[in-house]
DNA sequence: CCGCAAAGTTGAACGTGTTCAACTTTGCGG
DNA sequence: CCGCAAAGTTGAACACGTTCAACTTTGCGG
């Protein structure tokens, strides 16, 4: 670091370009919030409580985090990092189903301690206006990383992806989102049902990929590609379709 | 109505077993809330505002509706009713793809006026603790009705559903949920992208059903059935799977 | 060492959803 | 017609997330 220059540290969204002093306070608030989220859940965690426990004023907390939701976003980012770290340990095997299973389980493992908090979590993440939504432009980087993780699952495996090679990672990511949603609702002991669902999903996905390589499924894979294109590109337009008037 | 007996009217959850007097107040509050939701959206609609415009006190509104979210649930139920009504008009054709397309479009048509309100809508519906969640036990009846709607799509069509006959309606309902979620995020003019997605989905679904009737897809359909069973039955246990310890 | 702009920090105040003890109205039993 | 219990109704009060004008601290230029 250049002498005479104030140390700069950036957070997830890089809100205030804080100095080292500010960064320390920021970290303290964040730590306190995380602990409170984990111990008391989202609703019982109050901004006043966080501020008091961190030994700062309420307004100061808002200097570093624009809202309570922004604190949740940090949570979200931390979990995604953890998922990637865990997944790396699992990607040594070659078998496609094993790799997929492993990465999916890794995600559930990472989230497990926060299951009681998941309800509020998903509530924040699902809001279209929220930057932490998995589909928002703000989380484009995180989304790309997550899709990249599933690209690794495919690329490092012994499975030839066939005609859906390009879109397979995205499809797997979508499946992972669905599983995550299921996990949020899963009240079975230790979320055992989600574990079962992961296994079913991995098996089914593997079989579907194999199927897609068979001749005679060209029309089908084309449809899948078209559907995914609709999901993906905001600007894409299908020929001759102008949208249907709302009655 | 028997003379001398207080008229009883029940709402969606049948909260207070109101008399005619209460029912009138209840309806007035509900109407005011609906109008406010439609005109100003969820966030800018305040309980004080509703009460004032309806000419009642805040506390009185809470006598009929336990929370602001409960008002949204009424909204939700009304839309489902409308969907069924619109769908009935579309189920005269025989072609499977047409029927599915029609029912899916009918749902979007019904929701269209409330798109700006959809973000808060889904936020309420997604919360696992919320009774209006599509997966909650409280909405079991509504869920059954919705699945039944897609059963009608299948049953009245010229398509032979094949080995997935039993679970097809549920699968289509899940697809509809996904499309609804997409619609919430869809900011394209008139939600044209969702219209395109509906068409893609109907085409793909039709082809998948045809495919499932082909020989050699038995293992696949078995996997699909297993996955759906995992999704459905809270108590089901797969042989030999005890769930994986969370690290 | 001084001045000063930027960063950090404060706590009162606002509007919100929600609760509740108290009050009023209703309508049936006697 | 008179209680009287149930239903309906009120508005003040509470805790919360959030805002903001004012104040304090920091650290560089001179």
pLDDT digits (tens, 9 = 90+) for A62-84: 999 999 999 998 888 889 999 99
What would the DSSP string read from start to end of A162-195? GGGTTTHHHHHHHHHHHHHHHHHH--SGGGHHHH
* DSSP H/E element including B220: helix B218-232
Q: Three-class SS of residue B4? A: coil
Query: What 3-state class would DSSP assign to A9?
Result: strand
In whole angstroms, give the CA distance from residue A134 to residue A151: 18
Q: Which of B179, B230, B245 to mutate to test the interface with A (most CBs of A within 10 A)?
A: B230
Q: Provide, rounded to the nearest whole percent, the portion of chain A with pLDDT above 90.
A: 63
Residue-averaged pLDDT of chain B: 86
Q: Which pLDDT belongs to residue B236?
A: 46
Q: Is the CB of B22 under 7 A from strand D?
A: yes
Q: Is B222 on the interface with A (CB under 8 A)?
A: no
Q: Which of A94-98, A229-233, B222-226 has the highest mean pLDDT?
A: A94-98
Residue A17: pLDDT band by 50, 70, 90 thresholds? Answer: low
Residue B27: what pLDDT?
96
Is a pLDDT exceeding 70 seen at residue A237?
A: no
Contact call for residues B79 and B166 (beta carbons, < 8 A):
no
Q: Which two tokens stand for residue B51?
A: 């009460």
> B14 CA to D10 C1', in Å?
23
How much is the pLDDT for B247? 36
Measured CA to CA in angstroms, residue A165 lies from A159, A210, B30, B79 at distances of 10, 12, 51, 39
Q: How confident is the model at residue A216 (pLDDT cuts 50, 70, 90)?
A: confident
pLDDT score for A28 = 97
Separation between Cα atoms, residue B141 and residue B147, nearest integer Å: 10
pLDDT at A241: 37
pLDDT at residue B5, as a whole number: 39
A180/A122 Cα distance (integer angstroms): 9
Q: In degrees rounded to 5, what are phi and psi of residue B18? A: -75, 160
Q: Which residues of B touch A203 (CB under 8 A)?
A: 223, 226
Structure tokens at A229: 């294109």
Average pLDDT for A191-214 = 95
Would an 8 Å CB–CB cutoff place B223 in contact with chain A? yes
Q: Which residue has the higher pLDDT, B244 or A51?
A: A51
**Mean pLDDT (whole number) for A23-40:** 94
The nt closest to A61 (CA vs C1′) is: C9
Closest CA to B208 of B196, B220, B193, B195: B220
pLDDT for position A201: 95
Using 70 as the pLDDT threshold, list the residues of chain B that sit under it: 1-22, 233-247
- With H, G, I as helix, E, B as strand and everything else as coil, classify residue A202: helix
Total length of chain A? 247
Contact: B243, A190; criterion CB under 8 Å: yes
**For the segment B15-38, what is each residue's pLDDT rounded down to a tens digit?**
555 566 668 999 999 999 999 998
pLDDT tens, residue by residue, B111-123 = 998 898 888 888 8
At residue A118, the pLDDT reads 86
Tallying the residues shown for chain B, one arrives at: 247
CA angle A237, B117, B47 (to 5 degrees): 175
In 3D space, the residue among A83, A91, A101 whose CA is nearest the CA of residue A145 turns out to be: A83
Strand D contact at CB of residue A48, distance < 7 A: yes
Per-residue confidence band for A172, with pLDDT thresholds at 50, 70 and 90: very high
Other C-beta atoms within 10 Å of A5: how many?
7
pLDDT at B100: 98
């Amino acid at each position: 670091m250049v002498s005479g220059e104030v140390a700069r540290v950036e957070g997830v969204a890089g809100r205030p370009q804080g100095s080292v002093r500010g960064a320390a306070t920021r970290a303290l608030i964040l730590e306190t919030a995380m602990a409170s989220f984990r111990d008391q859940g989202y609703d019982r965690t109050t901004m006043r409580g966080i501020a008091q426990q961190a030994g700062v004023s309420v307004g100061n907390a808002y200097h570093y985090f624009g809202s309570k939701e922004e604190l949740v976003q940090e949570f979200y980012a931390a979990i995604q990092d953890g998922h990637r770290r865990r997944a790396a340990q699992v990607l040594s095997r070659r078998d496609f189903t094993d790799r997929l299973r492993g990465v999916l389980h890794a995600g559930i493992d990472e989230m497990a301690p926060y299951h009681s908090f998941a309800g509020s979590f998903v509530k924040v993440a699902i809001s279209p206006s929220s930057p932490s939504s998995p589909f928002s432009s703000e989380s484009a980087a995180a989304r790309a990383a997550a899709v990249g993780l599933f690209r690794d699952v495919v690329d490092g495996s012994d499975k030839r992806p066939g005609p859906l090679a390009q879109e397979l990672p995205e499809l797997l990511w979508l499946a992972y989102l669905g599983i995550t949603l299921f996990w949020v609702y899963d009240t079975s002991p230790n979320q055992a049902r989600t574990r079962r669902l992961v296994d079913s999903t991995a098996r089914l996905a593997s079989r579907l990929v194999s199927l897609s390589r068979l001749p005679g499924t060209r029309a089908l894979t084309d449809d899948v590609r078209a559907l995914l294109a609709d999901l993906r590109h905001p600007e894409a337009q299908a020929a001759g379709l102008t949208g249907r008037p709302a009655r």
